[in-house]
Structure 1
């Protein structure tokens, strides 16, 4: 049967591009669908400010007029300038278990990148570090999260067959919420608070967050600037993410650490009740009933899993115990609200300093994901 590749050129095709990533996992108990509306916005030139410094193309593979695969290819010119590279990125990739389909998708994406002077193909990555990145290579029997990729094991085989090599791994941890806050966290938090004259802000309402909203992302720019592949967010991108994420926050799991002398934000921790099962029930759609499942997951009392979305510490204070201040707020709240487990976001395998945060907790490395790279 003939195979045809078509570039996505209109909104209908873009919606099909996003929907295919949900349809291919129908019946899979571990896959967590994205919110379709948000995914379309991410991929839309007129909505995502990353297109200020990015180019992209999206391709669909058809067999007998049925979609059997998809791939996005992107060039982040800002990232290439920061890291002195000529890399293209592949991402948003899904395909049936068929070598011909995988071959034609990557052939098209690589040609697109090669024609534009790129020397390597790198991925799976998104436009920014706040998009999906890293192919799942271990942990296929674990439910995904709203922030990460789930993929079938055969994706790894096909991508390696096409000449892609490991570039970097990330680890994810499942952490059991303790019955009480570990003594070390209490002791270190008090020492750090006094020694560096820091305060943890108590926010009473959502309106109290907005004065700090942009400063949070500016802190993340400083905190992550030396991490693998990170590119600082522009003002337009910060505005975009502020409007996307701040309304979702639950104040119990927003920790802001300020320096007393000038109220400068030097640490932030953000957690969120897991939306994985709610997204599964909604099928990635907000309407007609998806909103109810999401609201219940965020506000209800029967959610037992907390997603640790991110922790950022100003470079001046890294390695000085600021994390203990953040956890001294998170852990008592998680205990009080009946959470049983927390799930970490992906952490670079080489970042032992970050992984040491779990030393005093019962934590299990349960997923690994990988970025691949190939010379073009």
Structure 2
């Protein structure tokens, strides 16, 4: 018989975080999340100030066989005039009874909180964090801040009556496959932008707090039409920025600026999953921290994490300049692989632009929904 435990203690939380390590111990493509980052996300992240998350563990006898989080995202419901609930952090053995019990538990909790709309996921906690169920592209490890799961997850979720909400695409290049047209045209594009007093520059890390505040405005404006988007609060963006500052490479943090106003930015991150994959159970101590310190300069891949332009400045060539500059630096540093995304499946303008520089749509993630 399947028993559900509502996570409450530190020990239960540790078990919740650690369960995927045991589930995927024989999977060569699995990358463990850092324990401290997951613990903080589930306990002290600013998301919890205005929203509610409850985590659950499923036991069969004395063994953990699954986990799930029920998420009441009040910010989403207010922004979208909805009354939806979400699920995230779903991991499970290949067993329909276990998955059904987990989802029934999460749905019941959300109903008790007054949710009457859709049940959407997976999101950890929203589309601003890792989200989507991997449905294509199981043959390689995930890049930084992307989800990973076994192929059977889709069958478990489909079997519970969920349907597609939207698919998300991740794009790939190796060191020889990209089209460097945007690099060759970079000087001409930059000169054209200068006639509109727009310049491309790297982020000023000495004024990081001031720069981050400007980037928050661009982020919340540039993505506000994306499906499922929820603006980040000041505290949430500052939390994200503080985390990213620890791992970013200044050469890959670019802004487009017009007379002191930031109108676009592009952010690519070294793919630290190359290192995290070697850190047992996501523990920084005793040796994990040294693997990061000594391995970060050897990272050979890059994730283009975000690239956005605010209304009124699109189709001016800014996107091409940002991509071109990132590709130029990627090439200069001798890196071997890059991933861009995710992008929404129906974002034709962005997807065509990526296809034009030979991006390969090599992974697909799905957000699901059903009436609660």
Gaps of 5+ in 1: none
Supply the distance in 2 between the matched residues of 1:192 and 1:64 (Cα, whole angstroms). Answer: 67
Inter-partner Cα distance in structure 1 for 2:3 and 2:153: 20
Distance 2:291 2:179 in 1: 30
TM alignment of 1:91-240, pairs within 5 A: 91-119=88-116, 120-177=118-175, 181-182=180-181, 185-186=185-186, 189-202=189-202, 206-240=205-239
- For residues 300-357 of structure 1, what are the alpha-carbon distances to aligned partners after superposition, in whole Å with 9 as ceiling and x for unaligned? 3xx3211111112122212222112212321221111101221112110011111123
Summarize the Cα distance change of 1:177–1:358 in structure 2 as closer, same or farther, 3 Å threshold.
farther
Greater shift, 335-344 or 86-95, is seen at: 335-344
- 2:308 alignment partner, SS class: strand
Segment drifting more, 76-85 vs 189-198: 189-198
- In the TM superposition, structure 1's runs of 4+ consecutive aligned residues that sit over 6 Å from their partners are none
1:192–1:356 CA distance, 2 compared to 1 (3 A): farther
The alpha-carbon deviation at position 208 of structure 1 amounts to 4.6
Tell me the secondary structure at the aligned position of residue 97 of structure 1.
Answer: coil
Cα deviation, 1:180-207, whole Å, max 9, x if unaligned, reads 842564266235423421112245x742
Q: Is the 8 A contact 2:58 2:67 kept in 1?
A: yes
Matching residue of 2:16: 17
Q: How does 1:225-374 map to 2 (within 5 A)?
A: 225-259=224-258, 261=259, 263-283=260-280, 284-300=282-298, 303-374=299-370
Following superposition, the deviation at residue 297 of structure 1 comes to 4.1
Are the counterparts in 1 of residues 190 and 199 from structure 2 also a CA contact under 8 Å?
no
Q: Deviations over 1:130-167 (max 9, x none)?
A: 32211011111121122111111111001010010011
Distance 1:121 1:359 in 2: 33
- Whether contact under 8 Å (1:50, 1:128) holds in the other structure is no
Q: How far apart, in 1, do the equivalents of 2:189 and 2:287 lie?
A: 42
Distance 1:344 1:296, change over 3 A: farther
Q: TM-score, normalised by structure 1?
A: 0.93
Q: Which structure 2 residue ranges, 5 or more long, are not aligned?
A: none
Mapped contact 1:192–1:322 kept (Cα < 8 A): no
How many residues end up aligned between the 2 structures? 368
Residues 32 and 146, structure 1, Cα contact 8 Å, conserved in 2 = no
Q: What secondary structure does 1:144 align onto? A: coil
Q: How far 1:296 sits from its partner (Å)?
A: 3.9
Distance, in Å, in 1 between the alignment partners of 2:179 and 2:156 is 46
1:295/1:218 Cα in 2 relative to 1: closer, same or farther (>3 Å)? Answer: farther
Contact kept? 1:174, 1:343, Cα under 8 Å: yes
Residues 193 and 317 in structure 2, CA contact (< 8 A), matched pair in contact too = no
Query: How big is each residue's C-alpha offset from its partner over 1:76-106, in whole Å with a ceiling of 9 and x where there is no partner?
Result: 1111111121110000000001111111101
Q: Structure 1: how far apart are the matches of 2:197 and 2:190? A: 10
Query: Residues of 2 paired with 1:286 and 1:371: CA distance?
Result: 31
Which residue of 71, 75, 91 maps to 2:72? 75
Larger deviation, residues 90-99 vs 170-179: 170-179
Cα RMSD (Å) of the superposition?
1.8
TM-score, normalization by structure 2: 0.94
Distance 1:347 1:292 in 2: 34
